[in-house]
Protein backbone atom coordinates (compact mmCIF):
# COMPACT_ATOMS: atom_id res chain seq x y z
CA UNK A 1 0.00 0.00 0.00
CA UNK A 2 1.46 3.32 -1.07
CA UNK A 3 0.60 6.34 1.03
CA UNK A 4 1.21 9.92 0.04
CA UNK A 5 3.55 12.12 2.07
CA UNK A 6 0.47 14.07 3.14
CA UNK A 7 -1.11 10.89 4.53
CA UNK A 8 2.12 10.04 6.33
CA UNK A 9 2.23 13.53 7.86
CA UNK A 10 -1.39 13.23 8.97
CA UNK A 11 -0.90 9.78 10.49
CA UNK A 12 2.20 10.90 12.37
CA UNK A 13 0.51 14.04 13.68
CA UNK A 14 -2.57 12.09 14.79
CA UNK A 15 -0.36 9.59 16.61
CA UNK A 16 1.39 12.44 18.42
CA UNK A 17 -1.93 13.98 19.49
CA UNK A 18 -3.18 10.61 20.73
CA UNK A 19 0.01 10.33 22.83
CA UNK A 20 -0.60 13.82 24.24
CA UNK A 21 -4.17 12.86 25.10
CA UNK A 22 -2.82 9.94 27.14
CA UNK A 23 -0.06 12.00 28.75
CA UNK A 24 -2.36 14.84 29.75
CA UNK A 25 -5.42 12.69 30.51
CA UNK A 26 -7.28 14.41 33.30
CA UNK A 27 -5.30 17.64 32.90
CA UNK A 28 -7.50 19.62 30.55
CA UNK A 29 -5.52 22.79 31.23
CA UNK A 30 -2.18 21.33 30.04
CA UNK A 31 -3.83 19.79 26.98
CA UNK A 32 -5.42 23.14 26.12
CA UNK A 33 -2.08 24.94 26.55
CA UNK A 34 -0.38 22.37 24.32
CA UNK A 35 -2.99 23.01 21.62
CA UNK A 36 -2.55 26.78 21.95
CA UNK A 37 1.24 26.50 21.61
CA UNK A 38 0.84 24.30 18.52
CA UNK A 39 -1.62 26.81 17.03
CA UNK A 40 0.87 29.65 17.34
CA UNK A 41 3.99 27.79 16.21
CA UNK A 42 3.54 28.11 12.42
CA UNK A 43 3.29 31.90 12.70
CA UNK A 44 6.37 31.94 14.92
CA UNK A 45 8.29 29.89 12.34
CA UNK A 46 7.20 32.21 9.52
CA UNK A 47 8.15 35.30 11.52
CA UNK A 48 11.40 34.17 13.12
CA UNK A 49 12.50 31.04 11.25
CA UNK A 50 12.61 27.40 12.28
CA UNK A 51 15.81 27.71 14.30
CA UNK A 52 14.60 30.60 16.43
CA UNK A 53 11.20 28.95 16.94
CA UNK A 54 12.78 25.66 18.02
CA UNK A 55 15.21 27.44 20.35
CA UNK A 56 12.31 29.37 21.88
CA UNK A 57 10.43 26.12 22.56
CA UNK A 58 13.48 24.78 24.39
CA UNK A 59 13.92 28.00 26.35
CA UNK A 60 10.26 28.07 27.39
CA UNK A 61 10.45 24.44 28.55
CA UNK A 62 13.38 25.28 30.85
CA UNK A 63 14.61 21.68 30.62
CA UNK A 64 11.35 20.22 31.94
CA UNK A 65 10.55 17.26 29.70
CA UNK A 66 6.90 17.15 30.76
CA UNK A 67 6.41 20.78 29.68
CA UNK A 68 4.15 21.14 26.60
CA UNK A 69 6.81 23.29 24.86
CA UNK A 70 9.35 20.51 25.23
CA UNK A 71 6.91 17.92 23.93
CA UNK A 72 6.26 20.02 20.82
CA UNK A 73 10.01 20.45 20.28
CA UNK A 74 10.57 16.68 20.57
CA UNK A 75 7.71 15.93 18.19
CA UNK A 76 9.16 18.37 15.66
CA UNK A 77 12.59 16.81 16.11
CA UNK A 78 11.20 13.31 15.64
CA UNK A 79 9.49 14.33 12.42
CA UNK A 80 12.35 16.29 10.86
CA UNK A 81 15.07 13.84 11.92
CA UNK A 82 13.27 10.55 11.27
CA UNK A 83 14.63 7.69 9.17
CA UNK A 84 12.87 8.46 5.89
CA UNK A 85 14.27 9.58 2.53
CA UNK A 86 12.16 12.76 2.56
CA UNK A 87 13.21 13.79 6.10
CA UNK A 88 15.23 17.03 5.89
CA UNK A 89 17.64 16.01 8.67
CA UNK A 90 17.47 12.25 8.23
CA UNK A 91 18.86 10.35 11.21
CA UNK A 92 20.17 13.48 12.95
CA UNK A 93 20.29 12.93 16.71
CA UNK A 94 19.55 16.54 17.69
CA UNK A 95 17.36 19.04 15.84
CA UNK A 96 19.22 22.17 16.97
CA UNK A 97 22.55 20.61 16.01
CA UNK A 98 21.13 19.67 12.59
CA UNK A 99 19.79 23.19 12.05
CA UNK A 100 23.10 24.90 12.81
CA UNK A 101 25.34 22.41 11.02
CA UNK A 102 23.53 22.03 7.68
CA UNK A 103 23.32 24.35 4.68
CA UNK A 104 20.66 26.86 3.74
CA UNK A 105 18.93 24.48 1.33
CA UNK A 106 18.48 21.84 4.07
CA UNK A 107 17.24 24.55 6.45
CA UNK A 108 14.63 25.82 3.99
CA UNK A 109 13.53 22.25 3.27
CA UNK A 110 13.23 21.57 7.01
CA UNK A 111 11.26 24.77 7.57
CA UNK A 112 8.82 23.99 4.75
CA UNK A 113 8.42 20.42 5.98
CA UNK A 114 7.86 21.59 9.56
CA UNK A 115 5.10 23.93 8.40
CA UNK A 116 3.43 21.21 6.30
CA UNK A 117 3.51 18.73 9.19
CA UNK A 118 2.37 21.35 11.71
CA UNK A 119 -0.79 22.00 9.71
CA UNK A 120 -1.90 18.48 10.59
CA UNK A 121 -0.70 18.65 14.19
CA UNK A 122 -2.53 21.95 14.62
CA UNK A 123 -5.80 20.63 13.17
CA UNK A 124 -5.74 17.54 15.39
CA UNK A 125 -4.68 19.53 18.48
CA UNK A 126 -7.62 21.88 18.05
CA UNK A 127 -10.01 19.01 17.35
CA UNK A 128 -8.95 16.75 20.24
CA UNK A 129 -7.23 18.89 22.89
CA UNK A 130 -8.76 22.39 22.97
CA UNK A 131 -11.18 23.06 25.78
CA UNK A 132 -14.73 23.37 24.58
CA UNK A 133 -16.38 26.74 25.23
CA UNK A 134 -18.80 26.52 28.11
Averaged over successive runs of 10 residues, the pLDDT of the chain (134 residues) comes to 94 97 89 95 98 98 93 98 96 97 97 98 96 72
DSSP-derived secondary structure for 28-76: HHHHHHHHHHHHHHHHHHHHH-HHHHHHHHHHHHTT-TTSHHHHHHHHH
pTM for the structure as a whole: 0.94
The residue ranges of every structural domain in the chain are 5-127
Q: What is the pLDDT of residue 26?
A: 85
Pick the CATH number of 5-127 from 3.30.420.10, 1.10.520.30, 1.10.3470.10, 3.40.50.2300: 1.10.520.30
| Residues 35/46, Cβ–Cβ less than 8 Å | no
Amino acid sequence: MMRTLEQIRAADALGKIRAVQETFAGDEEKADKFASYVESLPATILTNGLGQAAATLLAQAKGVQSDPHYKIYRFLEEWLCRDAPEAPYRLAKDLMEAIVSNDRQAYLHAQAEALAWLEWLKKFAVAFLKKKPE
